[in-house]
Amino acid sequence: MPRIAVTNPTFGLVPHVKEELVARYPGAKFNTEFEIPQMTEDWLIGFLKGCEVAVIGVEKYPEAVISSLPELKVIACCSVGVDHIDPAVLKKYGVRLGWIPGVNKVSVAELTISLMINLLRKVGTFNLGLRSGQWPKSRLGLQLRGRTVGIHGCGHVGKELVRLLQPFGVTLLACDRVDYADFYREHGVSPVSPQELWERSEVLTIHLPKNSSTIGMYHAGVLDRLRPGVFLVNTARGQIVDEAALKERLEDGRIAAAAFDVYSREPPATPLLAQLLQLPNFFGTPHIGGSAREAWEAMLRAGIRGITENAVPEPGVYPFD
């Protein structure tokens, strides 16, 4: 029986899944500290000392931690994104990674559709007006039905979004480095280049992983290539979109509105992000894409599976490419 330490505190919020882990691994110990900044390197080393498996959330395990834990053999990850994992460090010390992609795809896809409708119908703007005692003279918005929706990244979440959008009668464009030809044919999706995606999409939603090829991808030059008046949604990861450039284009109307669930810094405690969040045509949520209870359960169970289903990660190879 492996010695297991669970640094992901979310198990405490879903006790029946915690019981599933304890039933399989009776000696597992659990962290109850929710503030990730308090999980210092020294704290992690002390908590994990003598353990062979760490079941983690989004907390980082730098080389200083890994090198101090010679008995650690597996990191089982409950998160869907792995941008907080350094594959080179794990490979250097022979630590295996347990990770299952896409387990929160329904939750993220549902939020994405809600944000699209929110922007098109100006729900957030009208809500703020009502709170301040204003009744708008014009309550005009747009329907999602019949729009051209572009999906940048058609992996697990992108495909689920395509499925959920079927009843809306939208024109679907998708851009991905992988050719999902059979899926596209089955669901009426037109595969396009990035350039065509940016030029044609009335609603553009980003579902890319955060890695060296996507960080900063949506810089000012790309934002200027988007269809004028586009509605932009990002429920993927922060740092993919240049937030300063986005703010400028929201202010002058080149981008009609944007809804983001993710930011370059979380919580978004910078002057720029504070200003962005105050714009009437920007709607922000606090990284809740995967926060449906069902998604939490799926991610925690993925972490349990990762205890036995794992491999040494390879830098430059999916999902670290």
* Active site residue ranges: 237, 266, 287
List 185's β-bridge partners, or say none.
none
Contact between 205 and 117 under an 8 Å Cβ cutoff? The reply is: no
For 5, what's the count of Cα atoms within 13 Å in the CB-facing half-sphere?
17
Q: How crowded is residue 93: how many other Cβ atoms within 10 Å of its Cβ? A: 15
Identify the CA nearest to 281 among candidates 257, 260, 262, 259. Answer: 257
